[in-house]
Amino acid sequence: MGQSSKVLPAAPSEGRRPKVRLSKPVEQLVNRFEQSARRELRRLIRTSSRFADLAESFPGAAYTLAARHTDRQSRQHAARLVREGAKLKDVALALDLPLWLRRLPPEAFTGKIGPLPDNETFARRIATRLPSGRTDPAFWLASVSFAYMAADEDFALWLAEQSICSEGAHPERLFSVLAAYAWYSKAPLTSACRLIVVPWRPEIAFDTALCAAKSWLNRLRLVMQLEPGKLVDSWLRQGEAMGHQFVPLLNQEDILEEAQAMQNCADQYADRLAREKCRLFSVRRGTIRVATLEIGPHPRETGILAITQLKARHNMPASTEIWQAAHAWLASQTGLKRLLPVVAQERALNARIWDDLIEPYRQSKAGAAWLPSIPTQIAFSRLDSDMTDLARRAGVTSWLFT
């Protein structure tokens, strides 16, 4: 075949330009962005080198343009500003992005960027809490955005400086109860706030806040599960021995009063009580509460009830005198033999009470879809599981999460 018969490459069609290969450094920068944004980002960079500058100086703005997570008119306006060499703050304003986001790397941006505070005070304070080292920037940004949406700026700043394992984590699930607890801590006129023992504040340690939020969740369950008249069988009779009275605790009012007076965890037993795992009694000497007693299955003798806990105020050990009185009272009972159900009865949570408790939060937070709409046992078990997962990720150890 002659030289003149060689096939020549086809000329580009009119109006269509051959793709220009990006330089290695620019291509490496593009590859740091989420996969879905890379193709459009390459196209933008080919139209103007200023988009490469934007990807380096303000990755969040470049990502928002390339991922098309805002309306077309805003993107076109922002793109024109970039080509004209406008200031970053003008580009940020066109895309409705806070300027402090420019400090985050390309890896921080996945999915649609959620609502974020955009004021000088927050920008100055968040600057000292930006992710570094082994912190996952995408999880960090998603957590800050959810914290702001589900609570407020103070909670977002507080959460921004926490160290939490992020592998496979979903902020909306991990922090849903914690955020609601923080919001109610600042709503003193609400019924749900009155169930908080240790309120959230910006200086609170993470383990203290998480345990307080779990305690609050358990108290919410208490008022929904143990209304007056729901639990009537105390297993053992109320009575007196050696000058001490033993009074059964069967409803929310009695249990909350006991927990408050004794500064103990009686208010965390709603689920165990409702599932027929135990019964609680207040031990009193006259009008003075001196201990809280738990009755449950004997650890070795099947079908026999026994004292499983007896604690004085602040969960301190009860005195010998109180123990002797408790055993004397127990000895006077005729119903110590009791076979507890193998499958615990599930007591429904009162949906009306739940709606009343959560309504102020839902009104403030556009429905708060991250909390259950109907308080089923399954829904609350999931909240419990998510909080236990958060405790594990944050290295928080407490009997509340066992």
pTM: 0.87
Has residue 341 been placed in a domain?
A: no
- Cα–Cα distance measured from residue 291 to residue 323, given in angstroms and rounded to the nearest whole number: 10
- Residue 12: band (very low, low, confident or very high) from pLDDT cuts 50, 70, 90: very low
User: Which residues contact residue 106 at a Cβ distance below 8 angstroms, ignoring those fewer than 6 apart?
Assistant: 29, 32, 33, 55, 59, 62, 63
My answer on whether 94 and 36 are in the same domain is: yes
My answer on whether 385 and 284 are in the same domain is: no
My answer on whether 153 and 216 are in the same domain is: yes
My answer on whether 169 and 268 are in the same domain is: no
Between strands 239-241 and 279-285, the pairing is unpaired
* Other residues' Cβ atoms within 10 Å of the Cβ of residue 383: 21
Has residue 317 been placed in a domain?
A: yes
pLDDT at residue 346, as a whole number: 67
My answer on whether 98 and 142 are in the same domain is: no
pLDDT in tens, 69-97: 889 999 999 999 999 999 999 999 999 99
- Residue 44: band (very low, low, confident or very high) from pLDDT cuts 50, 70, 90: very high
My answer on whether 210 and 249 are in the same domain is: no
My answer on whether 248 and 305 are in the same domain is: yes
Last residue of a domain, one of 72, 104, 136: 104
pLDDT at residue 6, as a whole number: 38
Last residue of a domain, one of 104, 132, 155: 104
Please give the structure tokens belonging to residue 354: 């739940």
- Residue 7: band (very low, low, confident or very high) from pLDDT cuts 50, 70, 90: very low
Q: Is the pLDDT of residue 134 over 90?
A: no
- Residue 19: band (very low, low, confident or very high) from pLDDT cuts 50, 70, 90: low
Domains of the chain: total: 3
Q: Give the CATH number, domain containing residue 260.
A: 3.40.630.30
**198-214 burial by CB neighbour count: b if 16+ within 10 A, else e?**
ebbeeebebeebbbbbb
Q: Is the pLDDT of residue 350 over 50?
A: yes
pLDDT at residue 13, as a whole number: 45
My answer on whether 141 and 224 are in the same domain is: yes
- Residue 2: band (very low, low, confident or very high) from pLDDT cuts 50, 70, 90: very low
pLDDT at residue 323, as a whole number: 98
My answer on whether 60 and 90 are in the same domain is: yes
Degrees to nearest 5, angle at CA 260 with 256 and 261: 115
Has residue 268 been placed in a domain?
A: yes
- Residue 343: band (very low, low, confident or very high) from pLDDT cuts 50, 70, 90: low
Last residue of a domain, one of 302, 331, 360: 331
My answer on whether 223 and 352 are in the same domain is: yes
Residues of the chain with pLDDT > 70, as a percent, come to: 94
Has residue 274 been placed in a domain?
A: yes
Q: Is the pLDDT of residue 10 over 90?
A: no
pLDDT in tens, 280-312: 999 999 999 999 999 999 989 889 999 999 999
More confident residue, 219 or 16: 219
pLDDT in tens, 239-275: 999 999 999 999 999 999 999 999 999 999 988 998 8
Has residue 10 been placed in a domain?
A: no
My answer on whether 193 and 140 are in the same domain is: yes
Has residue 80 been placed in a domain?
A: yes
More confident residue, 5 or 343: 343
pLDDT at residue 342, as a whole number: 65
My answer on whether 360 and 217 are in the same domain is: yes
Please give the structure tokens belonging to residue 131: 């992710």
Structural domain containing residue 70: 17-104
- Cα–Cα distance measured from residue 316 to residue 207, given in angstroms and rounded to the nearest whole number: 22
- Residue 349 near residue 221, CB atoms below 8 Å: yes
What integer is the mean pLDDT of 180-202? Answer: 97
- Residue 91 near residue 82, CB atoms below 8 Å: yes
pLDDT at residue 16, as a whole number: 55
Q: How many residues does the chain have?
A: 402
Has residue 338 been placed in a domain?
A: no
Has residue 336 been placed in a domain?
A: no
pLDDT at residue 126, as a whole number: 97
